[in-house]
Amino acid sequence: MPARAPADVVVAGGGLVGLAVAWRAAQHGLRVTVVDDAPGSGASHAAAGMLAPVAEAAYGEESLLELAHASLARYPSFVAEVERASGLSVGLRTAGTLLVGFDEDDLRALFALHDFHRELGLAADRLTASACRRREPALTPRLRGGVLVRDDHSVDPRALSAALLTACRSAGVELLPSRVEGLVVEDGRAMGVRLCDGDLRAPAVVLALGAWSGRLPGLPPGTVPVRPVKGQILRLRGEPLLSGTVRGMVHGRAAYLVPQADGRLVVGATTDELGFDGRVTAGAVHDLLHDAAEIVPGVSELELVETLARWRPGTPDNAPLLGASALPGLVLATGHHRNGVLLAPVTADLVAELLATGQASPLLQRFSPQRFQSIDAQREVTAP
């Protein structure tokens, strides 16, 4: 194996989260190597790019909101900095998000969600059907009403990946196009990652492998409780139909339509606990197109240019795993489930601060990867 420059930090995984962490860590003066044979090709490639803490707020996931808002607040400056560093646009769109419903049941579910938003102090306004259509004239006249979330925005995740790759290179991050085949563990400590042509050693390893994070050979059992949550998603092309994101309940089924700067419309997404099943099914494509066309009839005229399946990294509480794991030397930046794009800036800031200073901020501590481990299991993993 040719000699490589020594790194302070090896980041396993070059998706949006891994790249953002690497970039911030390099800005702290750390020598960083990112290992990925196809950066940005996992969940970051499929994601619609919604920055939607309110619209995505789910019952039982309230703990995520503070983190999500902290990240959304960082987005404008994060985007400005990435765009400046890379010279590339990342397609930030700040037209808000409109949630719409079709029948009495959809509307009841939507307004119950709106009551939940208000209980949590989140800003969202009910709109009549005609007010919804004044905002988005392409919406079907059959809709019954909606809720506007002015501060939920979107970005183009593919453009953001490309810009972060360039920003990483300019900041001196080494990008190694290899597959991470395992974790190197010696004397109860992570010492680097295993590649096909040898080990890449570093005092700190950041695990940012998304849905694959829990499966890395060498991990002590139970250290990274991440499971794949399959999502199928479509991309359409044609006449621009929407100014901002629209999310709809169509007879009880949720769908979203996200316009992007390149003129495409992203339509998503299914959510299935099917492991690493990578098939795009006729049923999913049918349902997504059907629901999108119910919400915006003009969708039927668009060209279907892409269908794909990827996996969200789910955790037991669907909040991310951030910071020191039970294995010394191993830091996690994974488990972002539905919110990887939104949470990339705050993840990067908090994890890079930990890597550079050894300090875990209170917010980072709330998402400690060790929150699921019993005392016995922690003793077992950390035993010398």
Question: Minimum Å distance from CB 256 to ligand GLY?
Answer: 7
Q: Of 50 and 173, which has the nearer Cβ to ligand GLY?
A: 50
Residue 211 sits in the site that holds ligand GLY (CB under 6 A): no
- Structural contact between residues 4 and 33, judged by C-beta atoms closer than 8 angstroms: yes
Question: Minimum Å distance from CB 264 to ligand GLY?
Answer: 16
- Using CB under 6 A, pick the residue from 18, 39, 268, 314 that binds ligand GLY: 268
Residue 312 sits in the site that holds ligand GLY (CB under 6 A): yes
Rounded Cα distance, 299 and 297, in Å: 5
Residue 338 sits in the site that holds ligand GLY (CB under 6 A): yes
Residue 244 DSSP symbol = S
- Using CB under 6 A, pick the residue from 21, 34, 35, 50 that binds ligand GLY: 50
Q: How many residues bind ligand GLY (CB under 6 A)?
A: 7
Question: Minimum Å distance from CB 212 to ligand GLY?
Answer: 17
Question: Minimum Å distance from CB 77 to ligand GLY?
Answer: 22
Closest CA to 346 of 324, 320, 370, 325: 320
Residue 269 sits in the site that holds ligand GLY (CB under 6 A): yes
Rounded Cα distance, 203 and 141, in Å: 59
Residues 6+ apart with CB under 8 A from 159: 88, 89, 90, 91, 261, 262
Closest CA to 68 of 317, 320, 310, 260: 320
- Structural contact between residues 250 and 102, judged by C-beta atoms closer than 8 angstroms: yes
In one-letter notation, the amino acid at residue 25 is A
Instruction: Assign 3-class secondary structure to 98-112.
Output: EEEECCHHHHHHHHH
Total residue count of the chain as it appears in this document: 384
Phi, psi at residue 224, to the nearest 5°? -130, 85
Question: Minimum Å distance from CB 312 to ligand GLY?
Answer: 5
Residue 145 sits in the site that holds ligand GLY (CB under 6 A): no
Residue 329 sits in the site that holds ligand GLY (CB under 6 A): no
Residue with nearest beta carbon to ligand GLY: 338
- Using CB under 6 A, pick the residue from 40, 91, 192, 231 that binds ligand GLY: 231
Contacts to ligand GLY by CB under 6 A: 48, 50, 231, 268-269, 312, 338
